[in-house]
Amino acid sequence: MMKCFCPGMTEEEFMNWDMQENDWTGKTFYQVKVPMISHFPVAPELKIFRVMAEIEGKGFRTVAPPLIVFNDGMLVGSLMVEIVSPDGKYANVVTMGPTRMISKVYTGPRHLVPKALKEFDRLLMSRKIITNDYYFWFLTCKNCNKRSKENKTIIFAKVL
């Protein structure tokens, strides 16, 4: 069984993310490209496991608890793991410039995350909030899902 990287949020902590503004300015991420199908990463747990090993192998440190997000893409997206900003420049390490996000919580089957994304997009448009980029923080891995029977996701929209 693979190591779990779920943040272990309480229900209250999870719900506190709903419709919250988040400032990602200055956050540093280790980023790799990943295949995606219909806004969903292929084998996300395996990708996270491999990238966490890669991060450790290169001597980077993750923040605790690590923010692990998938940047949306139709066929190719990115897996981004928040790390402590290293000295110097490195391939695959990006630091966010001025970045404002709005988050929306979703509880339900993973295959319905694209539907939740469309609903979130409509909600933002109704409030005249313009966005062009989405990130997904899947809080429940397959192993945790077997125990809790709940998939929790936080969707982030980058506000222009």
Question: Which domains occur in the chain, in start order?
Answer: 11-159 (3.20.80.10)
pTM: 0.92
Average pLDDT over residues 104-111: 93
Phi, psi of 50 (to 5 degrees): -65, -40
Q: What's the full length of the chain, in residues?
A: 160
pLDDT score for 26 = 96
* 54 φ/ψ sector (left φ>0, alpha ψ -120 to 50, else beta): alpha
Average pLDDT over residues 111-139: 94
Average pLDDT over residues 36-63: 92
Average pLDDT over residues 16-39: 94
pLDDT score for 145 = 73
Q: pLDDT tens digit string along 56-73?
A: 999 999 998 889 999 988
For the cut 70, the answer to whether the pLDDT of residue 1 exceeds it is no
For the cut 80, the answer to whether the pLDDT of residue 96 exceeds it is yes
